[in-house]
A = this chain, B = another copy of it.
Amino acid sequence: MAPSTDNVAARLDLITQRIPEQNISGLELIEASLKAEGRNPRCFWATSPTGKREQKMGVKSNWTSADLIVVISLLDIYSFLDNVKYPMEQVLQRMHYYKFVISAAMEAIGIPASKVQFVQESTYVNTPEFTRDQWRLCTIVPQQAVKDAWDRSYNPDMLSPMFCPGMQSLAEEYLDIDFQFGGADQAGIFGFADRFMPQLGFKKRGHLMNPMLPNLQGGKMSSSHPPNTKIALTDDAETVSNKIFGANTKVATALTNGVMASLRDILIPISHLRTRIGITEGQKSFAGANAPEGTVFSIKTKSGEEHYSSYEEVEKSLHDGQITVEEINTAIAGAFNQLLATIRKKFTENEEWQAVTKEAYPVDA
């Protein structure tokens, strides 16, 4: 049975909410995939195992309610070609680490495992069909188009990264996905796919770009940046608390402050999700025990507890002096630590994950 019009509109809204209009291309393709009969739309998320996984992965948790399959490609070949530094063996260990940490984070957030499909990139890249299409692609792609597809700050000297935009684009065809999701730094690669995939006879896909989440210090977040600029999914409670208090020291907004952005783009969406999909043990929303319906975040104050149904209300309350920076930091650290406790517990119980971590990050493990 085809989904009802109302249902399609509601799901499309879940998918596109918080994504600026100019960050969406092929909206009609996404909509069409929601209308398809007997098939869950497939959304592609490519993740390159580099540094230890940080908090930003929680952002699109609301999709869980949109009846999607999130296809997560663990980019082993891509990462090997892109980093030009770590041997393939270590990249593979990092890939295993990523799978463990992403799975645990999904569980912590409350996303059912049935909604997620992990694929190791090399399983489809190392096939004669993919290789042939990659050669075909390379004969129609000017070298300059590859450079244009990159984030401008990134202009590598080596030959191997030149393949990466093509591999990520071809994955859309090989994983049979309906749309691809990435950060705003993927604009060039998504444009590359739009331009060249139809020239190979493959269909266009929808593309969605999440605005980049600032790091705790306010700059761009990246796995390769210093640890104090982001919360790692394996940080202990004290580290999380210190990072938040160290970064959020005065009244600020999500526009420039990474801690406030985390509240808006991670914690409150997760709280929304948990309210929608039902709360199970260890997956409470971030509302206090006695909060009224519709609360997505509660903050303890000297005089009691404040309840909020949106991020905007929290920010206004902070600016008006109803809550202090210290109080909001305590609430945010508490929410993160509630989330991360599930991940830490998984890590402690999983000897394979621990072993993989030592191989993947020998220096800082």
Contacts and interface: CB of A to CB of B under 8 A. Distances in A.
B128 A141 contact: no
Given A126-B131, A131-B126, A138 B157 contact: no
A84 interface: yes
A92 interface: no
Interface stretch (A39-47, A159-167, A218-226, A230-238): A159-167
B158 A159 contact: no
Interface in A79-97: 80-81, 84, 88
A146 interface: yes
B142 A157 contact: yes
A138 B163 CA distance: 10
A139 interface: yes
A84 B159 contact: no
Contacts of A159: 138-139, 141-143, 145-146, 162, 166
Contact of A138 (B135, B142, B143, B160): B160
A81 B135 contact: yes
A219 B88 CA distance: 47
B77 A135 contact: yes
A140 interface: yes
Contacts of A160: 135, 138-139, 141
A322 interface: no
A126 B135 CA distance: 11
Copy number in the complex reads 2
A303 interface: no
Nearest to A138: B160
Contacts of A140: 84, 158
A193 to B, nearest CB: 15
Contacts of A144: 157
Contacts of A131: 126, 131
Interface in A134-181: 135-136, 138-146, 157-160, 162-163, 166
Contact of A158 (B128, B138, B157, B158): B138
B135 A158 contact: no
A61 B269 CA distance: 75
A266 to B, nearest CB: 34
A362 to B, nearest CB: 19
22 contacts: A81-B135, A84-B140, A88-B136, A126-B131, A131-B131, A138-B158, A138-B159, A138-B160, A138-B163, A139-B158, A139-B159, A139-B160, A141-B158, A141-B159, A142-B157, A142-B158, A142-B159, A143-B143, A143-B157, A143-B159, A146-B159, A162-B162
